[in-house]
Amino acid sequence: MVKVKTIIAPKKDCKVLLHSCCAPCSGEVIQAMIKSGINLTIFFYNPNIHPKKEYEIRKNENIKYAKKVGINFIDADYDVQNWFKRAKGLELEPERGKRCTMCFDMRFERTALYAYENGFDIITSSLGISRWKNMQQINDCGEKAASKYSGITYWTYNWRKDGGSSRMYEIAKEENFYKQEFYGCIYSLRDKNNWRLQNGKQEIEIGKNYY
């Protein structure tokens, strides 16, 4: 059994809306909040994920885990065509570049709006726990989205610290979560497959590998 840390929320008795990108990244975040007595709800809004099969696998893993730990789960719209419109002209941007900023903005804007309309005080995201992501980029987008709504704060907690990243993988193995092999969007899938082919590896098989 993984030993979970305790954390302190930004406000006493607050309601936290957690934007979840996937179950593996969220496992440590969710467990830490539950152990700390924080009132949280999961918000799944990730129209970037491609193809639809990959999206459904990631979403259903998240739903299954939420039910297991007794946390409310909000299934938001998969408005993928809106995402593609916003990504137009950014198709060749590198990882952590302008396309990622656009993507974080889009997902956090919807998260902040839902929080504002449904009585939440705090929004945060599991995205920052991954060492492959730029935490400052994520936090900047989260704070920008929250600033548009009175009473909403983006929680910039560093989920990686105190062994958070290590526990993320331990929990993923313990729960046998689906193992995602690319960041999520069609362009990251393209780039990862190109890298694999250049290095003599097979292309990614959707829905195959688990921790």
103 is in an annotated binding site: yes
Tokens of 15: 């309601």
Domain of 57, in residue numbers = 16-199
Read off φ and ψ for residue 75, nearest 5 degrees. -95, 100
CATH code of the domain covering residue 44 = 3.40.50.620
* Annotated binding residue 185: no
22 labelled ligand-binding: yes
Task: Return the amino acid letter for 180.
Answer: Q
The total domain count for the chain is: 1
Any known ligand binding at 25?
no
Considering the domain boundaries, does residue 211 fall inside one?
A: no
Distance CA 142, CA 115 (A): 13
User: Has residue 127 been placed in a domain?
Assistant: yes
Does residue 134 sit within a domain? yes
Cβ atoms 189, 181 nearer than 8 A:
no
Residue 6 lies in a domain: no
Backbone dihedral angles phi then psi of residue 113, each to the nearest 5 degrees = -65, -45
The distance from CA 193 to its chain's CA centroid, rounded to whole angstroms, is 22
One digit per residue, the tens of pLDDT, for the chain of length 211 reads 567 788 999 988 999 999 999 999 999 999 999 999 999 999 999 999 999 999 999 999 999 999 999 999 999 999 999 999 999 999 999 999 999 999 999 999 999 999 999 999 999 999 989 888 999 999 999 999 999 999 999 999 999 988 888 999 999 999 999 999 999 999 999 999 999 999 999 999 999 999 9
Residue 191 domain-assigned (yes or no): yes
Q: Residue 137 falls within a domain, yes or no?
A: yes
This prediction's pTM: 0.95
Distance CA 83, CA 53 (A): 17
Q: Which helix (H) or strand (E) holds 110?
A: helix 98-117
For residue 206, is it within any domain?
no
